[in-house]
Amino acid sequence: MSVQTQRKSKVLSRKEVEGLIANGRSIVIVDGKVLKVDAWLPYHPGGDKAIRHMIGRDATDEVTRFHSSQTLELMNRYQIGRVEAQWTNFLPPIQGGKFRTQEELERLSAEAYTESCSSSEQDTTSSSSSAEHSPIFEPVDRSTSTTRKRNASNLPRASSSSSISSVGLDDAAKPATMSVLDRRTQQELDFDKAKYPSLDAQTQNSITQKYRELQDRIESEGLYKCNYASYGIECLRYGVFLCTFLYMLHAGWYISSAVPLACLWHQLTFTVHDAGHMGVTHDFTTDTTIAMFIASYMGGLSACWWKYNHNVHHLVTNHPEHDPDIQYIPFFAITHRFLESLTTTYYEWVMHYDAFAKALIPIQQYTYYPIMLFARFNLYRLSWVFLLSGTGPKKGPAWWHRYFELVGISFFWTWFGYGVVYRSIPDNFSRFWFVLISHALTSPLHIQITLSHFAMSTADLGVHESFAQKMLRTTMDVDCPQWLDFFHGGLQFQAIHHLFPRIPRHNLRRTQKLVQEFCNEVDIPYALYGFVDGNKRVIGRLADVGRQASILAECQRAIAAEGDYGLH
C-alpha cells in the first residue's frame, strides 16, 4: 500500500479533526472523506468564503450539488483521512465556532478522567454515560455536567447580542431580563421548530437520505441534461428584442427604444444564471465564459462577482450575518436582527443601524418598489468594486476571469455609454429618460430575486439541520402558468433551484413534481405562492419589521425621556 493510500485510509477521530481546525487548517467532510483544502482556497473560482462556511461540517450535499463529477474526483487529492461514524457538525470558525488544539483536548480528557474517578469514589451508586466526560460530545445531563461548561464555546451561537438565536431556551429557562429583540428571536425559533421536522439526528439523517435518493432519481430521469432546443427559442427572443431596440433607436424613437433594451437585459440574465451554475454545457470553462460574456460585454456586470456572492447565498441562505443577498441595511431589514447592528462575515464590516436606517426601515414597505427601480445601478457598483479590488481568485483555472470581465465592462460602456447614449441620442432630456427607463424596467427581475427569500424564515436552527430542510425553510417558489415561464426565467422555482442548483431551468417545472412528492414524504412544508400573494407576503414582512423598528425607537425615546434604563 502506498504512502498516499495509507494517508487517505487513516481514520481520524473527532478530536483530531477539531485539533487540526484549531491550528488553522481548513477541514471539510465529504462522503466520509476528510479533506484539507487550505491549498485550494486561493484557487476556488467560487471564492474562499463559500469553503469557509463548510469548515468542520459534513458538506457532502452542498459540495456534490454544486460541482461536476470531474471536479469531485479532483477533490480526492486533498484527502488526508476518513471518518467512520456519523459526523456531527461543528460551527465553522467564520460563523463564530471555537476549537481546541490537540494539546488542550488531551489535557481536558485527563481532567475529565480524574473527575470521573473522583465522582465514582464519592458516589458509587451513580452511573454516567461516557459522553458526559468527553470534551467533545454533549453530556446527557445538560444541567449538572462541568464538561458542558468547558465545551460551551463550541455550541452554535450567534455573534450578535441575540446569542440565543442558535441555541434556543425552554420557557422555564428564559431569563426574566430577556430583551424585546431576544424574545422575538425566540418566538421565531419556536415557530420554526413547531412547523418543521425535529432537529434530532435520526430525523435529519432520514431527510438527508431521502434527499439523496431524490437526487439519484432526478439524474436517472435525465433532468440534468440541457434542452438546447429551448435555448434556440431563447435566442430567437433575444434577437427580436435586439433588432427592435436597434430599429427604434435608428428611427429616432429614443425614449421608446429603452423598452426592448430593458427586456433584452431582463431575459439575458436568466442565461447568465444558468451558465453561472454550469447548467448549460456542464463544462466549467465553457459555461463560465458564456456567463461572463453576456454579463460583462452585453450588460456591464460581473458574473464573477455574482458567483462569489451567490455561492455564499446558496450555502447560508437567509442568515442575517452571513447571507449577502439579504444584507440591505440601511434600505431594507427583513428581520429584527438587523436592528442590532450586526457584523457581516461576507463584507467584513458592521451593518450599523444608524440614523439613516432608523429613518428608512419604518417606511420600507413603501420604498421597496421605488428602490427596486434603481437596483441595477447598485449592481454596476458592486461589479466594479469586486473587479478593481482583485477579490476573486488570482490563481488556478479562474485567474484570467477578472481581466476578461474588465475588458468586457469597458466594452459595454463603450458601446452603451458612448455609442448609444452619447452618440446616438441627440439631447440630454432623451438621454436621461432612456437610461432611467432601460434600467427601471429590469426591476421585475430584482423583485423576483428578493421575492423568494424576503418573506421566508431567517432563524438559525443550528448546525444539525439538514441541507434539504434548510433550503426549503428559507426559500419560496412562485406559482405561475407554464406560458409565463419565459418571463420568470426559472427563478420562480427558487426552492427547487436551491436544492438542485445545476439543473437547467427548462427542466425545473418537471422537477417540481418530484420535489413536492419528497416534501410530502418527509413532512417539510413546500412554500408555493402566486406572484401577487408572494409580493403581499414580502410587503407584509417589511411592514412587520418596520413596526418593530418603530416600537424600538419609541422605547428608546421613552427611556431617554423618563430615565428608565431597565430592559424593554
pLDDT tens sequence for the chain (568 residues) = 566 777 788 999 999 999 999 999 999 999 999 999 999 999 998 899 999 999 999 999 999 999 988 888 889 899 999 998 889 999 999 999 999 988 888 888 776 656 654 554 444 333 333 333 333 333 333 333 333 333 333 333 444 333 343 334 344 444 433 477 788 889 999 999 999 999 999 999 999 999 999 999 999 999 999 999 999 999 999 999 999 999 999 999 999 999 999 999 999 999 999 999 999 999 999 999 999 999 999 999 999 999 999 999 999 999 999 999 999 999 999 999 999 889 999 999 999 999 999 999 999 999 999 999 999 999 999 999 999 999 888 888 999 999 999 999 999 999 999 999 999 999 999 999 999 999 999 999 999 889 999 999 999 999 999 999 999 999 999 999 999 999 999 999 999 999 999 999 999 999 999 999 999 999 999 999 999 999 999 999 999 999 999 988 888 788 777 765 554 4
Helices (H), 23-101: 48-52, 60-66, 69-74
Cα(104)–Cα(337) distance, integer angstroms: 34
What pLDDT sits at residue 113?
54
For residue 129, tell me if it sits in a domain: no
Is there a single domain that holds both residue 217 and residue 70? no
* Domain finish residue from 65, 89, 113: 89
445 in the same domain as 306: yes
Measured at the CA of 143, the angle between CA 139 and CA 144, to 5 degrees, comes to 75
For residue 280, tell me if it sits in a domain. yes
For residues 367-394, one letter each, b for 16 or more C-beta atoms within 10 angstroms of the residue's C-beta and e for the rest, the string is ebeebbbebbeebbeebbebbeeebbbe
Tell whether 84 and 211 lie within a shared domain.
no
Angle at CA 121, nearest 5°, toward 116 and 125?
Answer: 90
Q: Give me the pLDDT at residue 565, please.
A: 52
Q: Supply the range of the domain harboring residue 491.
A: 201-529
Contact, 224 vs 503, CB < 8 A? yes
Q: Is residue 432 part of a domain?
A: yes
307 in a domain, yes or no? yes
Task: Give the separation between CA 491 and CA 310, rounded to whole angstroms.
Answer: 14
Q: Can you tell me the distance from the alpha carbon of 361 to that of 547, in angstroms, rounded to the nearest whole number?
A: 9
Q: How many domains does the chain have?
A: 2
Question: Could you tell me the three cell numbers for 139?
Answer: 453530556
- Is 184 within a domain? no
Which of 54, 89, 124 corresponds to the end of one domain?
A: 89
Q: What is the pTM of this model?
A: 0.85
Please check whether residue 74 lies inside any domain of the structure: yes
pLDDT at 561: 76
Domain-embedded: residue 160: no
Provide the CATH number for the domain around residue 69.
3.10.120.10
pLDDT of residue 174: 42
Q: Does 275 share its domain with 421?
A: yes
Residue count of the chain, please give it: 568
Tell me the sheet residues that pair with 501.
Answer: none
3-state secondary structure of 13: coil
Helix residue spans in 134-282 (DSSP H): 146-151, 180-195, 201-220, 228-250, 258-276
The residue from 89, 104, 124 where one domain ends is 89
306, 276 in Cβ contact below 8 A?
yes
Distance of alpha carbon 254 from alpha carbon 44, whole angstroms: 44
Q: What is the largest CA-CA distance in the chain?
A: 97
Quote the crossing angle between the two packed helices 284-292 and 303-315, to the nearest 10°.
120
Q: In this structure, is residue 279 part of a structural domain?
A: yes
